[in-house]
Amino acid sequence: MGYCREHLCPKCGYKAVVSGGPDVGMAMRYTLTISCRDCQDLYDVGWLDPKFVTDPEGQSSFQWKQLRLRCPEDARHQWEPYTGHCPVCSSTLQINEEGEGYHWD
Protein backbone atom coordinates (compact mmCIF):
# COMPACT_ATOMS: atom_id res chain seq x y z
CA MET A 1 0.00 0.00 0.00
CA GLY A 2 1.32 3.41 -0.87
CA TYR A 3 1.36 5.87 1.93
CA CYS A 4 2.82 9.37 1.94
CA ARG A 5 3.74 11.18 5.10
CA GLU A 6 4.64 14.71 5.95
CA HIS A 7 8.40 15.17 6.39
CA LEU A 8 9.46 18.27 8.27
CA CYS A 9 12.85 19.90 8.74
CA PRO A 10 13.22 21.24 12.29
CA LYS A 11 16.03 23.54 11.18
CA CYS A 12 14.94 25.32 7.99
CA GLY A 13 11.24 24.52 7.92
CA TYR A 14 11.35 22.52 4.69
CA LYS A 15 8.25 20.36 4.31
CA ALA A 16 7.39 17.62 1.85
CA VAL A 17 4.71 14.98 1.63
CA VAL A 18 6.42 11.94 0.16
CA SER A 19 6.49 8.23 0.86
CA GLY A 20 10.10 8.45 2.07
CA GLY A 21 11.39 5.24 0.54
CA PRO A 22 10.64 2.44 -1.86
CA ASP A 23 6.91 2.05 -1.99
CA VAL A 24 4.35 0.08 -3.95
CA GLY A 25 0.76 0.98 -4.67
CA MET A 26 -2.23 -1.17 -5.49
CA ALA A 27 -1.61 -0.58 -9.19
CA MET A 28 1.72 -2.41 -8.69
CA ARG A 29 3.81 0.56 -9.49
CA TYR A 30 6.94 1.03 -7.46
CA THR A 31 8.11 4.46 -6.51
CA LEU A 32 11.27 5.64 -4.86
CA THR A 33 11.89 8.91 -3.05
CA ILE A 34 14.79 10.93 -4.40
CA SER A 35 16.44 14.08 -3.14
CA CYS A 36 17.31 16.53 -5.93
CA ARG A 37 20.35 18.67 -5.17
CA ASP A 38 19.50 21.22 -7.86
CA CYS A 39 15.86 21.73 -6.86
CA GLN A 40 16.60 21.13 -3.15
CA ASP A 41 13.39 19.14 -3.07
CA LEU A 42 12.15 15.61 -2.54
CA TYR A 43 10.19 13.70 -5.16
CA ASP A 44 8.45 10.36 -5.35
CA VAL A 45 9.44 9.07 -8.76
CA GLY A 46 8.32 6.01 -10.72
CA TRP A 47 10.87 3.22 -10.39
CA LEU A 48 9.43 -0.04 -11.67
CA ASP A 49 6.45 -0.55 -13.92
CA PRO A 50 4.72 -3.88 -14.43
CA LYS A 51 4.72 -5.08 -18.03
CA PHE A 52 3.09 -8.09 -19.66
CA VAL A 53 4.92 -9.48 -22.66
CA THR A 54 3.61 -12.06 -25.11
CA ASP A 55 6.11 -14.38 -26.80
CA PRO A 56 5.63 -15.77 -30.37
CA GLU A 57 3.86 -18.88 -28.99
CA GLY A 58 1.24 -16.68 -27.40
CA GLN A 59 2.42 -17.27 -23.85
CA SER A 60 2.26 -14.15 -21.83
CA SER A 61 4.62 -13.50 -19.03
CA PHE A 62 5.14 -10.77 -16.57
CA GLN A 63 8.18 -8.54 -16.27
CA TRP A 64 9.22 -5.49 -14.36
CA LYS A 65 10.32 -2.62 -16.51
CA GLN A 66 12.87 -0.49 -14.73
CA LEU A 67 12.37 3.19 -15.35
CA ARG A 68 15.26 5.58 -15.61
CA LEU A 69 15.31 7.59 -12.42
CA ARG A 70 15.52 11.32 -12.90
CA CYS A 71 14.39 14.56 -11.39
CA PRO A 72 10.87 15.29 -12.71
CA GLU A 73 11.90 18.92 -13.29
CA ASP A 74 15.01 18.32 -15.38
CA ALA A 75 16.82 15.13 -16.44
CA ARG A 76 20.20 16.84 -15.98
CA HIS A 77 19.69 17.55 -12.30
CA GLN A 78 21.93 15.85 -9.78
CA TRP A 79 19.98 13.77 -7.30
CA GLU A 80 20.55 11.03 -4.76
CA PRO A 81 18.29 8.45 -3.11
CA TYR A 82 16.52 9.99 -0.16
CA THR A 83 18.11 8.89 3.11
CA GLY A 84 16.13 10.93 5.62
CA HIS A 85 18.00 14.21 5.24
CA CYS A 86 16.69 17.64 4.34
CA PRO A 87 17.41 18.47 0.65
CA VAL A 88 18.01 22.11 1.66
CA CYS A 89 20.20 22.01 4.78
CA SER A 90 20.97 18.26 5.28
CA SER A 91 19.42 18.10 8.76
CA THR A 92 17.54 14.95 9.68
CA LEU A 93 13.90 15.31 8.71
CA GLN A 94 11.16 14.50 11.20
CA ILE A 95 8.10 12.56 10.14
CA ASN A 96 4.89 14.13 11.30
CA GLU A 97 2.52 11.20 11.84
CA GLU A 98 -0.32 13.61 12.60
CA GLY A 99 0.41 15.63 9.46
CA GLU A 100 -1.23 15.66 6.12
CA GLY A 101 -0.32 12.15 5.03
CA TYR A 102 -2.48 10.41 2.51
CA HIS A 103 -2.94 7.04 0.89
CA TRP A 104 -2.30 7.36 -2.79
CA ASP A 105 -3.78 4.14 -4.08
Residues forming the site for Zn ion (CB under 5 A):
9, 11-12, 14, 36, 38-39, 71, 73, 77, 86, 88-89, 91
- The answer for residues whose C-beta is within 8 angstroms of residue 41's C-beta and 6 or more apart is 16, 35, 87
Comparing CB distances to Zn ion, the nearer of 32 and 71 is: 71
- The neighbour count for residue 10, using CB atoms within 10 Å, is 11
User: Does an H or E element contain 16, and which?
Assistant: strand 15-18
Comparing CB distances to Zn ion, the nearer of 63 and 78 is: 78
Q: How far is the CB of 102 from Zn ion (least distance, A)?
A: 22
Comparing CB distances to Zn ion, the nearer of 4 and 36 is: 36
